[in-house]
Amino acid sequence: MYRTAEGKDIFVVDGHIHYWDGSPENQKNVHGKQFIDCFYAYHSNLSPPEQRWEKSKFEKYSEDDVYRDLFIDGPDDVAIVQTTVLSDFYKNGFSDVGRSTSMAARNPERFIVNGSFDPRDGEEALDHIRFLKEKYDIQGVKMYTAEWNGDSKGWRLNDPEAYKCFELCDELGIRNIHVHKGPTIIPLNLDAFDVRDVDHAATDFQNLNWIVEHCGLPRLDEFCWIATQETNVYAGLAVVMPFIHTRPRYFGEIMAELLFWIGEDKILFGSDYAIWTPQWLVEKFWNFQIPDDIASERGVQLTDSVKEKILGLNAARLYDIDTGTRIKQLKESPALLAAG
C-alpha cells in the first residue's frame, strides 16, 4: 500500500514483474548472456544511482528480495508475475511459471502468476495451455512474439496457429493477454515486436483483454491509434515508468498521449521488476504532473483520481480483484521474510 504525504492509502497492483534466473549457470548459450546483459543495461542507465544493483544479484535474486522490494520496502499490494520462457537461451527457462508459483505460494494473496505459450509448438502449445489452466488456474498469459524457436525468429498474433491458442484461452476463461510490444532486447529482432498485429487479434477476440506492455515503444503513435479503436486494448506502463527519472518531459509526453487517445481507464502501472523496483517509481509518479504546455495542448490532467486508477484500480478490474476484500486479506496475512 502506498501512503501519500497527505496520509491517503493507494491500492497498488504492479501489473508486470518477473522472478527470473538469468545467472551464468542457467544460460544455455551466448544469447542468454546477451539477453540479461541488455536488461542490466536498461537497469543501470535508467535507474537512480542509489537504486542500482550489483550484476550478480540482478542475474538471480532471491524470494526474500522479491518480498522485501515489492511489499515491505515497496508499495505493492498485489503483483502480477509474468512468465517468459526463452528456452532457446536458458536451460530451465528465464522466468518459469513453476518457479514463480513456488515463490508466490508463501503469500498467495500477494501474487497472480501468469503463464505463457508458443503457438509455433502446434498441438503441444494447446496441451500446454490446458495444463497451465488445470494446474495453476492462470488468469492470463505473457506473449513474446520475438522469442526464438529453432529456425524461427518470431511470430505474429494473427498467425493461424496463434488464433487456435487464443480460441482455447477464450474457451478456458484465460482473459488477460499481456503482449511485449516495445523495445527490443539483444539478440531479438525489433520488427518481431511490431504492434500492428494487435489490431487483428483484438478485433477477432473481443472477450480477451490485450494488455500491450511498453505501449508499443518506440511505436507509440501506432499503438495509440489501435488502442483508440479497439476497446479491449490496454496500455501497460512497464519500461515507460523509469523515464519519469531520466527524461521527465518525455514521460509527460507519453502520459499525455495515452490520456488523450485511450483515456484513464485503460492504462496499467507496471514496474518491470527486477529491472526496476516499484517504490521509487510509484513515489515519483504520485508526485508527477504533466508539464503545463503538454497537458494544455492535449486537454488532459494527471489528477489524483487518475493516478489511483493507473496504479491499481484498472488492473484490479481486469483481474476481478475486490480491493476491499483484498486489503482485509493482506492485513491478516502480511508479507514476511524467511525466518533467519
pLDDT, tens digit, 9 for 90 and up, residues 28-37: 999 999 999 9
**Is residue 335 included in any domain, yes or no?**
no
* Domain extent for 171: 12-330
Give 3-state DSSP helix, strand, coil % of the chain, rounded to 5: 50, 15, 40
The CATH number of the domain holding residue 162 is: 3.20.20.140
Indicate if the pLDDT at residue 330 is higher than 90: no
Q: 60: which DSSP letter?
A: B
Nearest to 114 by CA among 85, 149, 89: 85
**Is residue 3 included in any domain, yes or no?**
no
**CB 169: neighbour CB atoms within 10 A?**
24
pTM of the prediction? 0.96
**Is residue 7 included in any domain, yes or no?**
no
**Is residue 1 included in any domain, yes or no?**
no
Query: How many Å apart are CA 213 and CA 143, to the nearest integer?
Result: 10
Query: How many Å apart are CA 36 and CA 32, to the nearest integer?
Result: 7
Indicate if the pLDDT at residue 11 is higher than 90: yes
Give Cα 338 distance to the centre of its chain.
26
Q: Are 65 and 57 in contact (CB under 8 A)?
A: yes
**Is residue 183 included in any domain, yes or no?**
yes
Indicate if the pLDDT at residue 332 is higher than 90: no
Q: Which residue has the cell 500477494?
A: 110
- Reported as a single tens digit per residue, the pLDDT across 141-191 is 999 999 999 999 999 999 999 999 999 999 999 999 999 999 999 999 999
**Is residue 242 included in any domain, yes or no?**
yes
Q: What is the model's pLDDT at position 339?
A: 45
For 40-57, letters b (16+ CB in 10 Å) and e give: bebbeebbeeeeebeeee
**Is residue 48 included in any domain, yes or no?**
yes
User: Considering its fold, how many domains does the chain have in total?
Assistant: 1
**Is residue 169 included in any domain, yes or no?**
yes
- Reported as a single tens digit per residue, the pLDDT across 37-56 is 999 999 999 999 999 999 99
